[in-house]
Amino acid sequence: MSRVRVLVGTKKGAFILTADGKRQSWEISGPHFAGWEMYHLKGSPADPNRIYASQTSGWFGQIIQRSDDGGKTWNPPGTKPEDLMGAGGMPNGKSNMFLYEGEVGMHKFHDGSQHPWEFKRIWHIEPSLTDPDTAYAGAEDAALFKTTDGGKTWKELPGLRQAKGHLWQPGEGGMGLHTIVLDPSNANRIYIAISAAGAFRTDDGGKTWKPITRGLKSQYELPDPDAEVGHCIHRMAMHPSRPNVLFMQKHWDVLRTDNAGDLWTDVGGNLPTDFGFPIDVHAHEPETIYVVPITSDSLHYPPDGKLRVYRSKTGGNEWEALTKGLPQKDCYVNVLRDAMAVDSLDKCGIYFGTTGGQVYGSPDSGNSWTPIVRDLPAVYSVEVQTLP
């Protein structure tokens, strides 16, 4: 029977939740990297034992961790702050992989202009679909990096910032490249999203990029209704069987494209509010999508204090509230953009984590929910690996 491994990144460490195919009894491992901000963990589709993790500290800088045994150990070792200290209390750089080539702890890189781009954190790691040693990393300030040696070295794909990068502006949470979507039918096609610069696509493996924002409206953020950049994208998702169809949760608006981003249409329909952060697609039903609406961009909690996942089985416009097992009174948590994921078992499982430290799971495509674990630090990300 297949198993599932849920990877949870939190404000104070990482946790790994494992269950068999019934998904009723869970083993919890962690905290890994206790006390560190773990923005994102994701497993390799090409190797069930390989996991990459984004580890952030205002003092030690940005670190990428890697496990080759499903999270039991991490390579390189050194997960405690004292392990990273050298003479005089400075980071020694011997225990972990720093993302950017150069001096240990370097926090800035340059795009060739007179203005430095801050290197603050890695928002998202996207492993290759076919090669466990290849992965992409989205940074703040917005930039895209790639490794082909398992994270030992990383190179920026600088062509992205040539796509009107001089016009990009940060959103409230910073100018982070937070979404990377790989096309399973075309290794040269990659989609990315940046808050608050917009959505972009490359068709040549990252050499050149173009904005894919036609149809997006941002009347409160952009005075120009035809602006190509400046849209605040929260998340994008794709079903692998239909790589030209993507769904987007934007800063106000839920949208879809049927032509690889060349044109977007609003599918918010009867949602109580079309503001939220995550969006995901059912593993076996490409027209079934999930969002978690929150009240507004100033009130980051569920409408009326009722935590509800909304599901559309029609690719948008028609939505139903999924509430069984979720708190429907006095609930004021948020669900962040990377904090929802699906497994690929026959009865597709849906998982999400909250800023209140709960991780909920549904073994029946959202019909019912149970808390897998409570009282974690604020959850930043949730990803799933389906294991043999």
Per-residue pLDDT averaged across 51-66, rounded?
86
- Per-residue model confidence (pLDDT) at position 59: 73
Kindly state the average pLDDT of the residues 313-339: 98
Query: pLDDT at position 76, please?
Result: 56
Predicted pLDDT of residue 182: 98
Which fold does the domain 3-387 belong to in CATH? Methylamine Dehydrogenase; Chain H (2.130.10)
> Mean pLDDT, to the nearest integer, of 141-150?
93
Please tell me the predicted confidence (pLDDT) of residue 118: 75
Q: Give the lowest-confidence range in 50-54, 88-92, 158-162, 318-322.
A: 88-92
State percent of the chain over pLDDT 70: 88
Confidence of residue 178 (pLDDT cuts 50, 70, 90): very high
pLDDT of residue 110: 46
pLDDT at 221 over 80: no
Model confidence at 308: pLDDT above 80: yes
Mean pLDDT of 188-211: 97
pLDDT tier, 116 (very low <50, low <70, confident <90, very high otherwise): low
More confident residue, 21 or 15: 15
pLDDT value at 326 more than 70: yes
Full-prediction pTM beyond 0.85?
yes
When the pLDDT of each residue in the chain is averaged and rounded to a whole number, the result is: 89
Domain-wise residue ranges, the chain: 3-387
- The pLDDT, as a whole number, for residue 265 is 98
Q: Is the pLDDT of residue 261 over 50?
A: yes
Are 182 and 190 within 8 A, CB to CB? yes
Please check the confidence at residue 87 and state whether its pLDDT lies above 70.
no
How would residue 63 be classed by pLDDT, with cut points 50, 70 and 90? confident
Average pLDDT rounded to a whole number, residues 242-255: 97
